[in-house]
Amino acid sequence: MTRLCCIAISNRLKNREPVLTAPVSARLAPAATAAPETTMTHARRCCLALAAALSLAPFAASAQDNASPYSWNITGVSDYLFRGVSQTDEDPTLQAGFTYTSPAGLYAGVWGSGVDFGHGDPKTELDYLIGYGVDVNDKVNFDVLLNRYTYIGSSQQNYNELITTTTFAKQYKATVAYSNDVWNTGTDGWYFAVGGEWPLPKDFTLSANIGRSTFEKDVAKDYTDWNVGVSRQFGLLNIGLGYYGTDSNGRYNSGRLADNRVMLSVAIGN
């Protein structure tokens, strides 16, 4: 059970999709005018994220993946996407996480990322998490997690979210998340998602997810996000390429920050 729990939380730290982390004005209002991003500009950003993460590979090469209770991860991404919405103004950033899992399945950790909401602080998101994972039987795992989203230099935006994930046959998952104060607005917010992974030839993995965000009050329109991608593991190094998008309500809420896009990620961790 402990190993499965480590894998579950490690995967969460490696991929924040799906689990909106920004001030309401930045997340939901159409983006301010900016120069349109060209294909070449986006390619350069992808290369920057790739180079940053690959520069850490020598440190990971000596690590051992031996079912340790400690799970760590350092990731370079071409864009930090959260439920289909860019949290970095479509720029690359570095992310890192660390988690300890007890033999009983309890775990606690911290995860950080650069953010850019276009109006000064905050520039860093730091999340604190505590949870519990248990094997219901040999095919079903259940995980419940309390996540505290915090923003350095802008504490009035902090809020909590309770996230449950049920994994079936180590391949399919269903997520339900709830906050009674989403984005620190006093509004109830729910997130529902389903997804899966399928092995491909040459040790590649295909993944697909679809999620739905709903809100009790008129802080935003309910919207759907989705993604499909491929990834490959090279020891402790994981490289992934995905295509992410939202429906028309998502783009109404967040403008260009919710446009369909390709995201590259390079992660090192156990």
Each residue of 30-47: pLDDT tens digit?
Answer: 333 334 444 454 455 555
Instruction: Please tell me the total count of domains within the chain.
Output: 1
**Which range has the worst mean pLDDT, 39-43, 74-78, 191-195?**
39-43
Q: What is the 3-state secondary structure (H, E, C) of the chain?
A: CHHHHHHHHHHHHHCCCCCCCCCHHHHHCCCCCCCCCCHHHHHHHHHHHHHHHHCCHHHHHCCCCCCCCEEEEEEEECCCEECCEECCCCCCEEEEEEEEECCCCEEEEEEEEECCCCCCCCCEEEEEEEEEEEECCCCEEEEEEEEEEEECCCHHHCEEEEEEEEEECCCEEEEEEEECCHHHCCCCEEEEEEEEEEECHHHEEEEEEEEEEEECCCCCCCEEEEEEEEEEEECCEEEEEEEEEECHHHHHHHHHHHCCEEEEEEEEEC
**Which range has the worst mean pLDDT, 8-12, 199-203, 259-263?**
8-12
Structural domain of 140: 2-269
Per-residue pLDDT at 6 exceeds 50: no
Q: Taking residues 202-219, report their average pLDDT.
A: 96
Per-residue pLDDT at 13 exceeds 80: no
Residue 126 is predicted with a pLDDT of: 98
**Which range has the worst mean pLDDT, 56-65, 86-95, 116-125, 220-229?**
56-65
Residue 119 is predicted with a pLDDT of: 80
Per-residue pLDDT at 15 exceeds 80: no
Per-residue pLDDT at 2 exceeds 70: no
Q: Taking residues 83-101, report their average pLDDT.
A: 98
Residue 212: pLDDT band by 50, 70, 90 thresholds?
very high
List the CATH number of the domain containing 11.
2.40.160.40
Residue 236 is predicted with a pLDDT of: 96
Per-residue pLDDT at 107 exceeds 70: yes
Tens digit of each residue's pLDDT (9 = 90 or more) over 157-192: 899 999 999 999 999 999 999 999 999 999 999 999
Residue 55 is predicted with a pLDDT of: 54
Per-residue pLDDT at 95 exceeds 50: yes
